């Protein structure tokens, strides 16, 4: 079923590009007819109808292409969110209810303004505002341990 979805997505993109190309061809044809027409009234007819139709086709194709790109971007974000949820769920099922063993607690932890984490914690993966501190200093600063990577550490 995924191949059918990928085929339809590719076809929608190709159709969008074809509509844009058709719009440019209509505008070029109207320009040629405009230049070849000897009568001034006929020139205006070619300029108005061909130009308007060409611009409308280009706009329709562009909007369809942008909509397809936005739809693909949303699907990519949705897939990334789902992967993060699955990784968090997997991590939570691996840890026992008593929290991590003392061997899993590092000497140095990454600290935010309210909590501290292991360096490989999923929740701080993309954060830039972290400060590395020894575990003892994190406790002295009354920071709470992360429930995901450190469990209920006391």
The 10s digit of each residue's pLDDT in 84-112 is 777 777 766 665 544 444 445 667 788 88
* 71, two tokens: 């739809």
Checking if the pLDDT of 55 tops 50, the result is yes
**pLDDT band at residue 49 using 50, 70 and 90 as cut-offs:** confident
Strands 108-111 and 115-117 come out as antiparallel
Q: Tokens in use for 37?
A: 């027409």
Closest CA to 108 of 133, 125, 139: 133
């Amino acid at each position: 079923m995924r191949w059918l979805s990928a085929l339809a997505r590719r076809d929608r993109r190709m159709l969008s590009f074809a509509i844009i190309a058709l719009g440019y061809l209509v505008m070029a044809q109207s320009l040629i007819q405009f230049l070849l027409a000897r009568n001034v009234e006929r020139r205006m007819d070619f300029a108005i109808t061909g130009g308007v139709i060409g611009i409308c086709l280009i706009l329709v194709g562009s909007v369809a292409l942008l909509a397809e790109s936005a739809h693909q971007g949303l699907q990519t974000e949705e897939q990334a969110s789902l992967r993060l949820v699955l990784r968090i769920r997997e991590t939570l099922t691996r840890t026992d209810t008593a929290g991590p063993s003392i061997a899993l607690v590092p000497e140095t932890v990454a600290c935010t303004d309210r909590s501290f984490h292991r360096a490989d914690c999923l929740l701080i993966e993309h954060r830039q505002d972290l400060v590395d501190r020894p575990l003892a200093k994190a406790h002295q600063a009354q920071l709470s341990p992360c429930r995901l990577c450190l469990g209920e550490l006391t």
